[in-house]
Amino acid sequence: MVAFTGLGSLPGTDYPAALRMTFDAVPDLAYLPELPARGPWAGIVGRGLGLPSGLPADLSAGEWRLADAPGIDQRRARATWRDDLDRLEEEAHDYTGRFKVAVAGPWTLAASLGVAHTGRVLADHGARRDLAQALAEGVGELLVDLGRRLPGAALVLQVDEPSLPSVAAGAVPTPGGFFRHRAVDLPEIVQALAWVTAEPARRGLEVATVLHSCAPWDGGWPLRSLLAGTGSTAGFGGVSLDLDRLAGPDWDALAEAVESGGALYLGCLPTAGSTRPLGVDEVRRRTLAAVERIGATGIADRLVLTPACGLAGWEPAEASAAFRVLAKVADQVASELA
């Protein structure tokens, strides 16, 4: 069965309303919503820093930096996580379907987080390692907590890596903007991600994992190396991509990844532009064209339709309409693929 879900961010600051809407609109693959409008501690980097223990950080002049002790915004990030999970438990303690939670990945955090003397964590090999290991520990703690709060749910971990293609290509600018950080080699990229994906099993948890990036993939970056069961890999069970960001070589890499058994979270509903959202017919056409181009057989049970990126910049009514479109498209695509 073709499923659909959201990617994380939603508009507004009313968390209880966002949580209820998520369960109502996405009943088969609900997820923990994120509301970046609540403040910098609720954005992708601040929320990511709300997880790792042992890596204190502070927000100064609009930049997150490692610090000697947690700053007020990092403490707010951790408090926001606790509040969100408490609300989740109140609303959905008896939920029994798949449930997805998103966290910032180690390479997006490394590309965004400042550190003394080297500018960014990305420039310091030891700091990159420490960050990835601390993040993995924090993710493990989060998943154990979620398992306790939602004992009937099948957990899905989404690792958000919008900066990963730039990290791999050596395209992340230095703080001054005049230079670019050196590209990180694939084995180190894979190792850092593998620490995160291996953490659930290390704690005795069965958790599906998916890597999400709505950034361009720079011409066929080795997506297959991210998936479990394909040799020395980062261990993800699937990838989540914006189909409008895929160039020619990317489609070949994606086809190879899906043929190897990976799940495909397909960003088929555009999130940029003035038409919000596109109609059912257009989104269905885009989805079927992408599936045909990938050419993978038996993909229906591994296909999840999503918006192209987060919906934080939309109006609440637009976000609700987007999920109604995806629900109808998922049914129609499932019929086409049967």
Quick check: is 68 in a domain? Answer: yes
Quick check: is 270 in a domain? Answer: no
Does the pLDDT at position 232 exceed 80? no
Given a contact cutoff of 8 angstroms between Cβ atoms, the answer to whether 4 and 326 are in contact is: yes
Q: What is the pLDDT of residues 258-299, one digit of tens each?
A: 888 889 999 999 998 877 899 999 999 999 999 999 987 788
Expressed as residue numbers, the domain containing 209 is 39-213
Quick check: is 278 in a domain? Answer: no
Q: What is the pLDDT of residues 293-324, one digit of tens each?
A: 998 778 889 999 999 999 999 999 999 999 99
Quick check: is 297 in a domain? Answer: no
Quick check: is 166 in a domain? Answer: yes
Q: What is the pLDDT of residues 92-103, one digit of tens each?
A: 999 999 999 999
Quick check: is 118 in a domain? Answer: yes
For the chain, how many structural domains are there in total? 1
Q: What is the pLDDT of residues 4-38, one digit of tens each?
A: 999 999 999 999 999 999 999 999 899 999 999 99
Quick check: is 240 in a domain? Answer: no
The pTM (predicted TM-score) of the whole model is 0.95
Q: What is the pLDDT of residues 114-136, one digit of tens each?
A: 987 768 999 999 999 999 999 99
- The token pair at 334 is 């499932």
